[in-house]
Amino acid sequence: MPTPNEILTELKKIKYPGFTRDIVSFGMIKDIEVAHHGVKIILNPPAAKPELIVQIVDNIKQAVTAMGGVPAVEVTVEKAPPPRAAAGLQRRSIPGVKTIVAVASGKGGVGKSTVAVNLALAISSLGRRVGLMDADVYGPSVAMMLGADQEIRVTAEKRIVPLDRFGIRYVSMALFINEDTAVIWRGPMVTKLESEFLFNVEWGELDCLVLDLPPGTGDAQLTITQRAALDGGVIVTTPQELALVDVRRGMAMFSEVNVPVLGVIENMSYYECGKCGHRHDIFNHGGGAKLADELGVPFLGEIPIFRELREGGDRAAPLASTNPDHPASIRFRQIATQVLAQIEHRN
């Protein structure tokens, strides 16, 4: 009879359908029990289509049986626990704000803030009143993309007045500190500031408030998802597998706090040469669509690499506003239309 370690090594040869990574590295194997009557393997799979789970179970049985000396193989698939409500916290709505959408990513470097800014501007171009909150305290970038040349004001009631540019209202930590100042704060200070940005800003009447969450799934993200009455989350990823693994963590976070995932956006999807027209899949391609399909959430679209998109952010002249006819701007409007449709359907 093989040992649990030997069985685990064999299971590492089984690829997750459609990916080059194996089911062990995906965290699907919860336990392996070896007894005289046979081997029992307990799976804790992520949210996926039932036919994929059936295929994986068959592959496991074949692989373990082929090891020899195993009289029987039993595979048990655990059901995912129901999403937990936000541990006793009452989610609050923001007076005057109809809907709140969070833009998140499992890891940094995927262009989440660029997507959040241009998505907010695209929603605004569809005739909606839009606000944008930069929730990334340690690495705020929304103000750089939209402009930080105005001084922030505070009302007599000590409420923050957001800046208004390109037709949207926005607030960011970068508006309160110098460019060369590092934010060295512990968790409680960060969560307090985020609560201030949510509930102590004069947002006015908004159809949609877009939240640019910091990367990851830590205290800052949980504070917002547990305290604000979010209508949904949008996940931003890039095509490579490393980013796709983190997408699962981001989706798990929203699931834990009962916030629906409105869809996945694949950023930096590919690059098309302006001279020869040849397409280059620099970071692979199609992983976001495939993962969204397997996890049963909408795929909102792909954003190729555009030099103008980067330049617009660097110059505080975001492309979705300054050049609405650019292919990237058109794609953002298409995505914005889908996001609004998802919210209206759920409501």
pLDDT of residue 251: 80
Domains and CATH numbers, the chain: 13-77 (no CATH), 97-346 (3.40.50.300)
Taking the C-alpha atoms of residue 204 and residue 98, their distance in angstroms, rounded to an integer, is 11
55, two tokens: 């295929």
CA distances to 55, 243, 272, 291, 310 from 240, in Å: 24, 6, 18, 11, 20
Query: Which has the closest alpha carbon to 77: 52, 42, 34, 27?
Result: 42
**307: helix, coil or strand?**
helix
Query: Mean pLDDT of successive 10-residue segments in the chain (347 residues)?
Result: 90 83 82 90 79 90 92 85 50 92 87 95 96 89 88 91 95 81 71 88 96 82 86 90 73 82 91 79 81 84 92 93 95 96 85
pLDDT for 50-82, tens place per residue? 888 899 999 999 999 999 889 999 999 986 555
CA distances to 9, 52, 268, 279 from 274, in Å: 47, 40, 16, 9
Residue 344 CB burial class (10 angstroms; 0-12, 13-18, ≥19): exposed
Give me the DSSP letters along 103-130: EE-SSSSS-HHHHHHHHHHHHHHTT--E
Contact between 334 and 301 (Cβ < 8 Å)? yes
pTM for this model (two decimals): 0.76
pLDDT of residue 270: 85
Taking the C-alpha atoms of residue 187 and residue 317, their distance in angstroms, rounded to an integer, is 32
pLDDT of residue 89: 54
pLDDT of residue 302: 93
pLDDT of residue 182: 66
